[in-house]
Homo-oligomer: A and B are copies of this chain.
Amino acid sequence: MLTYSFTDIGSDCLYQHLYKCIKNDIIQQILCPGEKLPSKRTFAKNLGISIITVENAYAQLLAEGYIYSIPKKGFFVSDIKTVDSKKSSILSSENVQLSSGVSHYLADFTSNQTNSDNFPFSIWAKLIRRILNDYQQELVTNPPCGGILELRKAIAKHLREFRNIYVEPEQIIIGAGTEYLYGLLIQLLGFDKRYAVEDPGYNKIYRIYQKHNVACDLISMDSYGINVDELEQRKPDIIHISPSHHFPTGIVMPISRRYELLAWASKADSRYIIEDDYDIEFRMTGKPVPAMQNIDVLEKVIYINTFTKTLASTVRISYMVLPKHLANKFYKELSFYSCTVSNFEQYTLAKFIEEGYFEKHINRMRTYYHSKRDLLLHALRNSRLAPYVKIMEEDAGLHFIINLKTDLSDQDFCLLAEQNGIRIRALSSFYAQPPEDVEHFFVINYSSLPEDSIKPAIDIIYNIITQV
């Protein structure tokens, strides 16, 4: 009968040692396929160990497929060639697809990625170095659940100066991306509430509400923004909008519609407006419109913004400004959550804002995007494509819309573009149910477009729509 020594088992426990010995013998074919293993009882007696130990070792071998059992007959050695091939097929990685963020397009009009030349690496490095030296205790001290106070103060100051929004730092909640904050808001406002988003809009926001299993309406837009009559009909509690620069239509909601929405919100306690101010820093021209947060005296507006647009999409820091009573509710009900942004980045960003680097960076980026937009618009207007293209809503943010003269369906055009190295999305694809009159409109996000791709990309588009 099989005998193993238990004198030198190291840190293993008994059953593990036994398991390893048997497994080893199976792998080295000392125990051959089909061979019967000793019964638990005799084996235990023979080795001077308990039956439980043998049982556990057999159970693990069984679980891993090294042995198999036949009821009332006992345990037998498996053919490990089968075990191995079964294992490798389970472990083959081809099923698990990595959705990588690396773009291999000549021109990607859907990307929001930052060009590395535009990230302030040297300043960031300088600030991190200083913080790692001077803030060691602070860096490992748990922050309040809403984020470190220095950063929230810096953001409050920035909001005051840049956006004329006056809030207490304590109303600001820091989180790892707006997507995370939306989930937190659902926990704060309630899973029983009815939410509503703009149609067309960022599909992602709608999907987040769906994935959280809350009722979510798609509300249509007119030329002023979200449709108030439809709100009255569908009766959502919370609307999630981007009044300052709607994506993808580019609509800037006029003040009159803002007041209508505030009036709508005032009619029930459960009603709130989530104001997503996502790329306000890059409004190019046109009059600045005050944030809804600014004109809200009834504590109905939750303001959300992010640094992923202004710094880099890979720096995951966003924030929301809660009305006082919701901030209190947040501290009461959700303060058990740890802040999702690590202290290291919170302190670095706080210094970055406090010391004026953020403002300089925004100004630099605004100039950069401005000139890139002008380059692109100029190239479009002076290309062979010019007679086929109409440019719309060009005065704000990091995207605009073009209307192409083509007989191709939106789907066919995008597919042909993709095959020729250009990634572009049709306006219609942002609608749940696209109306007929939005065909042949395309969203041009130019923020990560390399300058030397502009001309070839325009030529490709020209070829696609003229050669069909």
Residue-wise interface mask of A (159-184) relative to B, using a CB-CB cutoff of 8 A (1 in contact, 0 not): 00000001010110000110110010
* Contact of A98 with B149 in the complex, beta carbons under 8 Å: yes
B12, B139, B144, B337: the one within 8 Å of A287 (CB) = B12
Interface residue count on the A side (C-beta < 8 Å): 100
Quickly give the copy total for this chain. Answer: 2
Partner of A290, one of B16, B149, B207, B341: B16
B256 touches A337 (CB 8 A): no
Interface-side segment among A109-117, A234-242, A360-368, A399-407: A109-117
Chain B nearest CB, measured from A251 CB (Å): 16
Q: A388-444: which have CB < 8 Å to B?
A: none
Instruction: Decide if A2 is an interface residue (CB 8 Å cutoff).
Output: no
The answer to whether A297 touches B142, judged by C-beta atoms less than 8 angstroms apart, is no
Are B136 and A121 in contact, with the CB atoms below 8 A? yes
Name the segment of A37-45, A225-233, A325-333, A378-386 touching the other chain.
A325-333
In the assembled complex, 26 residue pairs joining A and B whose CB atoms fall closer than 8 Å, in A order, are A12-B288, A16-B290, A59-B255, A59-B259, A60-B295, A63-B296, A63-B297, A93-B170, A95-B324, A96-B171, A96-B327, A96-B331, A97-B328, A99-B144, A101-B141, A115-B140, A119-B139, A128-B128, A139-B312, A176-B341, A177-B338, A177-B340, A183-B183, A187-B211, A192-B213, A344-B345
Rank and list the top 6 A-B pairs by shortest CB-CB distance, nearest first.
A101-B142, A13-B287, A96-B170, A191-B213, A176-B340, A314-B343
Q: Using a CB–CB distance below 8 Å, which chain A residues touch chain B? A: 11-13, 15-16, 52, 55-56, 59-60, 63-65, 90-91, 93, 95-102, 113-116, 119, 121, 124-125, 128-129, 132-133, 136-137, 139-146, 149, 166, 168, 170-171, 176-177, 179-180, 183, 187, 191-192, 204, 207-208, 211-213, 255-256, 259, 262, 287-290, 295-297, 308, 312-317, 324, 327-328, 331, 333-345
